Amino acid sequence: SDLKAMKLEKTSISSDGLSPSKATLKTRFATPDDENHVVELAKVFLAASPYRDIAIDDSTLRQVFRQLLEGGCIIVNERGFIAGVLAPLFFAPNVKVATELAWWAPDAEGTHLRELFEEWAQENGASAVQMSALNNAYAARLTENLVKNGYTPVEVAYLKAL
C-alpha cells in the first residue's frame, strides 16, 4: 500500500509508554497545506542548530519543502517535523538508505515522527534508516533513545565554519 496516500495518524504516548500524553499530537505525512507550519518549525529548528548564522529566507525553505514533498518525505505534527530522502550508499548504489535531513521535536516528542519515517522508509525499499542528532544538551538522551530502538552509531560529523 502507498503510505503517502494513507491518512496514518499516531497519538503521542506519555513517558511511561502507556497512557496518552496531555498534549495529544497527531503525526502524519505533510500535505501542501502544511507548508506555512513546516516553514515556521524549520526556522525554530535552524535557530537551534549550528547553521543558525546562515541567512535562510522563507522562499528557500518553501522551495525545500515542496521538493521534499515531491521527492522525499516530510512527516509533521503540531509541534515538530521530520524530513528526509532515500539515498544510495556511495559504495553500494543498489542499497537505499532513508536519510533524515532535519528532525525537530521539542520536549522529546519525536518518537512517532521517527516511527512513521521508518515505516515510509521500509515501504519505499530502504534497507536502513540513518538519523542524526545535534550535538547539544539533548544529544546523550537522543542517542540513548535511538540505540534502545535498534540504531547503531556509525559516524560522527564535524563542522568548520569558513
- Between 39-43, 48-52, 101-105, 124-128, the lowest mean confidence (pLDDT) is in 48-52
Q: Is the pTM of this model over 0.85?
A: no
pLDDT in tens, 37-52: 999 999 999 888 888 8
What is the structure's pLDDT at 158? 86
What is the structure's pLDDT at 53? 86
Residue with cell string 525499499: 125
What is the structure's pLDDT at 108? 64
Higher pLDDT, 105 or 127: 127
Whether the per-residue pLDDT at 20 is higher than 80: the answer is no
Across 15-32, average pLDDT: 64
Q: What is the 3-state secondary structure (H, E, C) of the chain?
A: CCHHHCCCCEECECCCCCCECCCCCEEEECCHHHHHHHHHHHHHHHHCCCCCCCCCCHHHHHHHHHHHHHHCEEEECCCCEEEEEEEEECCEEEEEEEEEEEEECHHHCCHHHHHHHHHHHHHCCCCEEECCCCCCCCHHHHHHHHHHCCCCCCCCCCCCCC
Whether the per-residue pLDDT at 19 is higher than 50: the answer is no
Across 121-138, average pLDDT: 91
